[in-house]
Amino acid sequence: MGNAESPTVAHIGTQQLGTDGSEMTTQVNPKTSVSFTLNGDAVFVENASPYLSLNDWLRSQPGLSGTKKMCGEGGCGCCVVSVKRLDPGALEESAISIISCLCPLYSVEGWTITTVEGIGSSRSGFHPIQVRVAERNGSQCGYCTPGFVMNMYSLLDQNPKPTKQEIEDNFDGNICRCTGYRPILEAMKTFAVDNDIAWIDIEDLSTTCPRTGKPCRGLCKAHVRGPTDPLWYRPSTLADVLTIIQNNPGSKVKLLVGDTGKGVFKVMSPADYFDIFIDLKGISDLYQTQLTGSSLTVGAAVTLASLIQILQENQQVSTNFQYIAKHLLKVANVPVRNVGSWAGNLMLTHDHNDFPSDVFTVLAAAGATLTIANASGSNTYTLLDFLKVDMTQSVIVSMELPFASAGIIFRSFKVMPRNQNARAYVNAAFSMQVDPNSIVQGTPVLVFGGIQAHAVLAVNTANLLQQQNLLDPKTLKSAMAALDQDIVPDAPLVAASVQYRKSLALSLFYKYYLACIVDHVSPRVVTAANPYVRPISSGTQSYSTVPSNYPITQPIPKLASKLQASGEAQYTTDIPPYPDELAAAFVLTTQGNATITGINVDLASKMPGFMMVLTVADIPQGGQNNFLPAVGLHPEPVFATTFSEYAGHAVALVLADTQEYANAIAQSITVNYQNVKKPILTIQEAITAESFFPSPGPPIVMGNAKDAIAGSAHIITGDISCGAQYHFYMETQTSLCIPEEDGYTVHSSTQWTDLTQSAVATVLGIPVSSVDVTVKRVGGAYGGKITRSPQIAAACALGAYATKRPVRMHMDIDTNMQMIGKREPYYATFTIGCTDSGVINGIEMTVYNDAGCYGNDSTVQAALNAIDNAYFVQNWLVTPVTCKTNTASNTACRSPGTLPGIFIMESLVDYVAKSLNLNVEQVKLANLYQQGQVTPYNIPLNYCSIRDIWDQLYKSAEVDARKQYISQFNEINRWRKRGISVVPLKFGLGWSGAPYTVLVSIYATDGTVAVTHGGVEVGQGINTKVAQVAAKTLGISIDMIKIKPSNSLTNPNGMTTGGSISSELACLGVLNACTELKHRITPIQQVMGNPTWVELIQKCYSVGIDLSSKQFTYQTTDFEFAYFSYGATCAEVELDVLTGETQVIRVDILYDCGESINPDIDVGQVEGAFVMGMGYWMTERFIYDPDSGQLLTHNSWEYKPPSSQDIPIDWRVELLKNAPNPIGILRSKASGEPPQCMSCSVLFAAKRAVESARAEIQGPQVFSLDGPATTDVIQQYCMVDPSQFFF
């Protein structure tokens, strides 16, 4: 999440204050109410808990669930709202976006707040931002969309004429897992002043507030101040602050401005609670800024965004101001910087050893000093001295930033896991005075963060550089030697390796050294001195349609996209609370591979909001501790009983008044263990321990691989691996269970209503018919809500059974990531026999997958059925092995098995080419399938277009010409390298064994149509495609059709939504149902002549025609796959060799989607799948504690899916034109998963760049690049060494 803001914390004992403030002697009274304006209404809230966030309050109010909640850390952006406020001393209000889940309700005093409901709706009219996002296909699952909309709304309110660059930069805090960002950015850039289309005046963006009625003055019972809640003060003077602190010895005090620091260091348990909050936003002295003849003074409450603006406006005053401002733009994200103060950020690194503050690093290098006050007076400190100051009764008042002296060269650096909104691997800032002869004057200041617990100075290097001539190569050599001694990295588990961080620190100084003498630097290395500036991204989309068949093949937006953009689309977590509803949270183990001896709930039972704790003992008689009762699955427990398989295993369920209380109580419960053994956490550890599940199936055998290999001209051996991936659905696991007179109604964010229904019935020991499961839409799933969501629903049902009250759970991200399984890691060893030209004769391979602690969702068979990808090999022997580890039971994740399977094969072909020193693309072409050949799993390829697609993509992407350019680029650049890669695709789609039911109903009153089908809308556009098919088949407007929620009543015994087949099969069911209805009504139509649709339907009704049709689809095919989709992708990457940072310069995708039912939706699926795959290969990693097995990367602070500036800069997507699928449903092909499997082209393009870097030092060219190839991994593969540095 990058750096945020922290309070000053006073630890003066443990004395508890009375809530009436009786021990207070100051004249400042605690706040018990807050007033603000919301969407045009005056709001007055009394007696709220100081822990209550603006987000939680909003979502508790009727009709205000459009502002979403996901991470609670400021790392996702789905909770963004717009604010206007007047800071003390300011002349006018500022319009900003903020993170509502980090904003305490009490801190919004006097603000004007606008939520997504306040700018437009279906009733009052949609806002142009909402319309453009929807119409440009910028909303798929839609859960993140309101956050994007409100971030853009705030930008336009603040800056009515933004540039395209300003717009792209504005979304550094918004995550979208569905779309791949391109359509969102394109929609937003239509508002740019430099856009090609007509610009819209900001006045035209205003809409009337849709909310009417009396102002809200109430407060939900659950959010009322509790007896142990802290007091909240909002003093107006600094003296008042110091008095409050001094008069309350023994109290734990939190000073805050934006309170964004709790996004990094959360309030998770009673140990994190405070006695007093002091809001500093009312103190005008802390907002003062002053420019003197030699320095800039900035008050401590000034936000990071304001500080950046001040520095930018005064950059002509001091040469270092522009560089400091540029660096601060990399801190956190726009909504966090808008409210988080620079002083709060410094307090984070003061109070926490694991916070690499960028603010500290750059200000320390710039020579800033701090004025710190306490009851005794004030003193001035350098930033390094500040780290030693006892701040328990002190307050930062201001910072003095001196102007840079003549000749000062200031630069700063931040290297991150992704291009935006991430903590630094290493940050650095350097300030050195250099005379015109390149002689160093005085002592340089060289500051590094991310090396030790706090920022460090390279003292020896700085001293050595005094009076040295930078143009003397010996100076560089000596400086690097000294810096090698100065930089001694520590080794936290979640940090990058010691080797990388040391190499990176030296590389950053080398970059700075070159910048200091840039006019004397060789052209081959000058790019190291100049920072890379990412261009504005752009994209093109190309496809064919069949107008005569509209609305089928018509590119139209998702039907619900405007409702999603306005926040009106309802998700499970948005369902209004029921009377007496309780919240639930799981208690997790913290030690894997250990015996559980009991749990301790003593502290929990005394906490506010506590209701009860449920364990396996509370499952009713006749019920089972099993949430996977489906045929073919092994039992998996809702609660661990005597053994903790992994750290994160659910052991109990807390019920409480609110979700926040439930989460806190769950954290307070401890689990006791014995017989603790070291957990098995990786495939390699499982192999060593021989920890395997029973054989997952027979090996793939085709021909005689051993003999073919033995008789080959070349025998090549190697191995390759790829890791896990968290689904990162924006709506975390959520369920609501309501007791009814005849059973239970369950609302679940699930992909599989049938399994959820069975799980609830099994756990409670009741008939399946007593459970009704409904799901309207899901806020992202990607396979993670197939077999995992039933556990959440079953637990809520148990709570509802025990209390006879509705129970809801909305998992926090930490619990979700620790408890729920991910994509399975894979590892393969291989032996290949091939010819001199790289034609593969035979492959012998063992494929290992990590299924976690249970083997239910093993995807290894899917991997084997994709292991050939697009290549024909006559002889195969592939043996699958499923490993058991002490990690969460891994599960399906978009393209389960096929994504790693195809990557393994691509790696093998790549390895062959590099081993033989051949052109990789030529080796691929030599091995591509041809029409009529047979796969190793015995499916003939009767419709194989891979060679034609390869040729078309190769030509349209200008691969040969670009290769030539890249060769020239790499020749003239030592420290920046480019690489290009082409990856083909063959992806099998199978329908067999997937039952779905469809019900189509025509209403006689007005002829409108309702459809419910067996699939679930998870963002893939299934409802829109179904409506298109129904409209075309019935011959009516799509506006007359409504798609109803999926449910277990109309879709009994249905299959999960997944495997990219649900849209096709739902469309088939609707086609059949509507065809049957047409067959019934056509005779009446013929008799009537030319009636209107309504007249026809009313006549049919009057003569007793059944106007509903239920269809059950259960397709069977001769082979496992009904058909194959084909594609090819070309990716080009630019690499900073010194840091490992990459930019995806261009991506060309050609994908065979058949005759697309909706090209807009299918292009969106291609792009979204591809970027999710890019994250898997380039940015997303997991780190576990090797002793406990606890997942350490379990939040948005440590786990980094791609951001909007990680996508391809130039992105060209084409759906293969005029290519109907002869055996597809309506001639179409699936699009949700196959394109993701070509995303490894980005990794291989980066590998080409690494190979070029290695060639500079004659490094080995034959190596495997495992996934994820994160920034640190790539840099280490480049074999960077300071002995190579020159100028």
CA dist 363 to 342, 412, 505, 676, Å?
Answer: 10, 10, 18, 47
- By annotation, the residues acting in catalysis are 1233
CA dist 967 to 924, 953, 961, Å?
Answer: 20, 20, 10
Q: Are 899 and 1236 in contact (CB under 8 A)?
A: yes
Both tokens of 443, joined, read 């002592």
Amino acid at site 592: G
Residues β-bridged to residue 880:
847
Both tokens of 1022, joined, read 């299934």
SS3 155: helix
Residues contacting 757, CB < 8 A, separation 6+ = 746, 768, 771, 772, 773, 1048
Q: Are 323 and 511 in contact (CB under 8 A)?
A: no
Angle subtended at Cα 598 by Cα 596 and Cα 601, rounded to the nearest 5 degrees: 135
In whole angstroms, give the CA distance from residue 1042 to residue 1015.
15
- Gyration radius from the chain CA atoms: 31
**Which residue's entry shows tokens 């072409």?**
925
Closest by CA to 1072, choosing from 1118, 1009, 1026, 1010, is 1026
Q: Are 584 and 662 in contact (CB under 8 A)?
A: yes
SS3 245: helix
- Pairing assessment for the beta strands 276-279 and 231-233 based on DSSP bridges: parallel
**Which residue's entry shows tokens 């009515």?**
160
Both tokens of 721, joined, read 């691996």
Closest by CA to 253, choosing from 230, 285, 227, 287, is 230
In whole angstroms, give the CA distance from residue 1052 to residue 1151.
35
- Pairing assessment for the beta strands 610-614 and 650-656 based on DSSP bridges: antiparallel
Tell me how long the chain is: 1287
Q: Are 785 and 778 in contact (CB under 8 A)?
A: yes
In whole angstroms, give the CA distance from residue 364 to residue 356.
13
SS3 1132: strand
Q: Is it true that the peptide bond before 557 is cis, omega within 30 degrees of 0?
A: no
Closest by CA to 182, choosing from 895, 1238, 1237, 1171, is 1171
CA dihedral 908, 912, 915, 919 (to 10 degrees): -120
In whole angstroms, give the CA distance from residue 583 to residue 573.
12
Closest by CA to 885, choosing from 632, 1193, 1189, 672, is 1189
Residues β-bridged to residue 400:
297, 369
SS3 content of the chain, % helix, strand, coil (to 5): 30, 20, 45
**Which residue's entry shows tokens 């699928």?**
1221
Residues contacting 1270, CB < 8 A, separation 6+ = 417, 1140, 1178, 1179, 1181
Residues contacting 955, CB < 8 A, separation 6+ = none
Q: Are 1253 and 1123 in contact (CB under 8 A)?
A: no
Amino acid at site 496: A
**Which residue's entry shows tokens 């080009």?**
1132
The gap from C-alpha 1255 to its chain's centroid, in whole angstroms, comes to 35
